[in-house]
A and B are shown apart, each in its own frame.
Chain A
Amino acid sequence: GDSVTQMEGPVTLSEEAFLTINCTYTATGYPSLFWYVQYPGEGLQLLLKATKADDKGSNKGFEATYRKETTSFHLEKGSVQVSDSAVYFCALSGALNAGKSTFGDGTTLTVKP
């Protein structure tokens, strides 16, 4: 079945540091890929998405590129802020699994001033 593997956390960075959170997947066919963010006490919010190979999703300074050859969708940000502290989930959705998304285990990011 489909699966998503995320880099283990927690990750602690200083403000303005560079962020990478690795995400790799296995799936049948050509899934859509997503990064969701969950701030403390809240639900999940879609951060960015990519629906086909070589697509780059971007939002709020975050970027991720759909790499089919390496089955990866790594999340990057050039300069993190304290307000980026949250849990980040990589997820996929395949056309063959209508209604089901597969989530990674989540990576907790803490940014210190």
Chain B
Amino acid sequence: DTEVTQTPKHLVMGMTNKKSLKCEQHMGHRAMYWYKQKAKKPPELMFVYSYEKLSINESVPSRFSPECPNSSLLNLHLHALQPEDSALYLCASSQLGLAGANSYNEQFFGPGTRLTVL
């Protein structure tokens, strides 16, 4: 299984709602990522989990709260979002290589969740 799955595919929420995005992979990857992608732009890294621990937070507002319950699952909890948070949210996973190795970090992306905040 070389697939990263994401649910839901589309999500519309109001600014007072609480919702969660889910991501799952069964490739044994120990690094998982959340990206935000605006139209016609490259993905922007939000969070990285390594061995189920948060290793990178790219100064993301606290209204986005990541969670990694186990090595296969990654969640993104959303609360009090703003209309400018509307975007495609992509999950990815990768292997973690040995220290000093260059041949890791080939990332496998999910299809994304298209989020609209009204």
Show the binding face of A for B, using Cβ within 8 Å: 30-32, 34, 36, 42-46, 49, 51-52, 87, 89, 93-95, 98-101, 103-106, 108
- Do residues B42 and A95 form an inter-chain contact, with CB atoms below 8 A? no
- Chain B, residues 1-21, CB within 8 Å of chain A (1/0): the string is 000101000000000000000
Most buried by A among B42, B48, B56, B107: B42
| Contact A44 to B90, CB < 8 A, known contacts A101-B107, A104-B42 | yes
| For the complex of A and B, 3 pairs with smallest distance between CB atoms | A103-B42, A93-B105, A99-B48
Is the pair B106, A32 in contact by a Cβ cutoff of 8 Å? yes
B102 at interface (Cβ–Cβ under 8 A)?
Answer: yes
B interface list, Cβ under 8 A from A: 4, 6, 31, 33, 40-43, 45, 48, 50, 55-56, 90, 92, 96, 100-112
7 contacts between A and B (CB under 8 A): A34-B106, A43-B109, A51-B103, A94-B102, A100-B48, A104-B42, A105-B41
A9 (CB) vs chain B CBs: closest residue: B40
Please give 6 more A-B residue pairs, beta carbons under 8 A apart, in addition to A31-B102, A44-B109, A106-B41.
A44-B107, A51-B103, A93-B102, A94-B102, A98-B50, A99-B48
Most buried by A among B33, B101, B102: B102
Q: Are B42 and A99 in contact (CB under 8 A)?
A: no
Residue of B nearest to A87 (CB): B40
Chain B residues contacting A36 (CB-CB under 8 Å) are 109
> Is B107 a contact partner of A46 (Cβ separation < 8 A)?
yes
| Whole-angstrom distance between the Cβ of A105 and the nearest chain B Cβ | 6
Which residues of chain B are near A46, meaning CB under 8 Å? 106-108
Which residues of B sit under 8 angstroms from A101, Cβ to Cβ? 45, 105, 107
A99 adjacent to B109 (CB under 8 Å):
no
A98 to B40, CA, bound (A): 26
A30:B42 contact, CB within 8 angstroms: no
Q: Measured between alpha carbons, how far is A42 from B42 in the docked complex, in Å?
A: 13
Chain B residues in 8 Å Cβ range of A87: 40
Q: Which residue of A lies closest to B6 (CB)?
A: A43
Query: Which residues of the other chain, A, contact B4 by a CB distance below 8 angstroms?
Result: 43
Q: Which residues of B contact A99 (CB under 8 A)?
A: 31, 33, 48, 50, 55-56, 105
